[in-house]
Structure 1
């Protein structure tokens, strides 16, 4: 019995670490949303924290949307260079546009009779580049999709967004956060904001799900693509780079800095 317990101990330890590592705590309200009333915590999401609300009747009446450029909340990116912050904001804009365009008609400019999507990045925790590089090397020799990241090298992205109609009424709102896992499938990166950039896609996915009516089907991309200014939607070079190096490389993913408005 003792020998069996000793043999099982490493497995149990890794399992416990993986469970603890995949939990993301909710981020504190940043004060960006017009109101936080009615936000409900989405259950069954350990890896990501989701709090959202939607007025289904009101969102059903929304068809045309203008996406405002995302902003950075005060103190959300302490110690992170402005050039890296611009990359995160640009990627958030891109991913939000992609998902909104599959559910609404995205306008190139504001219109008095159109809704607005407002977004703020409320926290960026940097990725530890040295530790991530070591992880990429170590994970190369670990079979299977599960990788290990040194504690203290994992990054985070937190953001808030709302859908506002004419007159300033909040139709839908989202407070979202995602931390990289010490044990899991998050791809390490040498970029200081590698984790935050990767999580922008997950945030965009949730914006689309939280803002669109439940019965609104995903639609074909309009021609011309309203999100074309952010770059092509498909980035096969990024997949190849990950497969070869084990790293997330922003330059191969089509990431672009947010352009000053």
Structure 2
């Protein structure tokens, strides 16, 4: 059985190559200067940063993520809202470890984020993959080719004068072999990919010499729920599935809750 598992992993590995870049959506204030990273294995990453300007910024206001163009077409309003919230959540966690989260006041740096593509997850294929992963033990997970979802996002840091200081065009599709867990939700893969997106945003907008800082107390991202989801880990382990309700901890924020 282990031999069969190994053959499957090798046979599907070719489908886990780097995601192709997504066309510019027009969301960013400028695209010149974006440089494609060649050292990424799974994601398409194009980015730029003015280190001198980024070093002068301490406080950042996080604008809520928005859908751009036809992103999310075919998805329900709750599904689209869930993806936007998870993108906001993961970006909030990462940015808060490098900058002070500020309110929207004149002269404050802003981070704008646009979701430019949400590729739905194939539920039937995910169910089959979950069963297969239970029956064929091995490292990582095996997904059904052609049923994996994806996420593409553009984000930019604007300085107090409104000029672009840093920008990122990021896209990734869930791998057929790896750590992207199957999900019966059509946005299961997009939700999972929000976490590496958040990492990429934090790295892109931060000056190279800026260290990750301890989480402030109280946590400025508390409105999104706790940063760790132990129940989500257990659910994945027992069922082999990513379940948004327990993996994101994303119960809607109370009405009137101010954003960081």
| Structure-1-length-normalised TM-score | 0.91
Deviation at 1:57, TM superposition (A): 0.2
Q: CA deviation at 1:146?
A: 3.0
- 1:235 is aligned, of 205, 210, 229, to 229
Q: 1:131 aligns with which of 108, 118, 125?
A: 125
Deviation at 1:153, TM superposition (A): 1.2
Structure 1 counterpart of 2:40, from 38, 42, 45: 45
1:246 aligns with 240
Which residue of structure 1 aligns with residue 184 of structure 2?
Answer: 190
Name the CA distance, whole Å, in 2 between partners of 1:69 and 1:81. Answer: 19
Inter-partner Cα distance in structure 2 for 1:15 and 1:257 = 41
How far is 1:20 from its partner?
3.3
The alignment's TM-score, normalised by the length of structure 2, stands at 0.91
2:13 matched residue in structure 1: 18
Q: Partner residue of 1:73? A: 68
Q: Distance in 1 between matches of 2:35 and 2:106?
A: 30
Runs of 4+ in 1 over 6 A off after TM superposition: 10-13, 258-261
Distance 1:258 1:25, change over 3 A: farther
Instruction: Please tell me whether the aligned partners of residues 43 and 170 of structure 2 are also in contact (alpha carbons under 8 angstroms).
Output: yes
Give distance in 1, aligned partners of 2:253 and 2:88.
Answer: 8
**Aligned-partner Cα distance in 2 for 1:155–1:242:** 18
Q: Which residue of 2 aligns with 1:6?
A: none
| Partner of residue 109, structure 2 | 115
Q: Give the Cα separation in 2 of the matches to 1:84 and 1:25.
A: 24
Is 1:199 the counterpart of 2:214 in the alignment? no
Q: 1:260 to 1:68 in 2, by over 3 A?
A: farther
Contact 1:190 1:249 in 2 (8 A): yes
Whether contact under 8 Å (2:107, 2:161) holds in the other structure is: no
C-alpha deviation, 1:65, in angstroms: 0.6
Task: Extract unaligned runs of 5+ from structure 2.
Answer: none
Contact 1:91/1:256, CA 8 A, preserved across alignment: no
State how many pairs are aligned.
252
TM-fit CA distance, 1:256: 4.0
- Cα deviation, 1:137-181, whole Å, max 9, x if unaligned, reads 111122222322222210000000000012210000000001011
Does residue 87 in structure 1 map to residue 82 in structure 2? yes
Specify the alignment match of 1:179 in structure 2.
Answer: 173
Q: Which runs of 5+ in 1 are unaligned?
A: 1-9
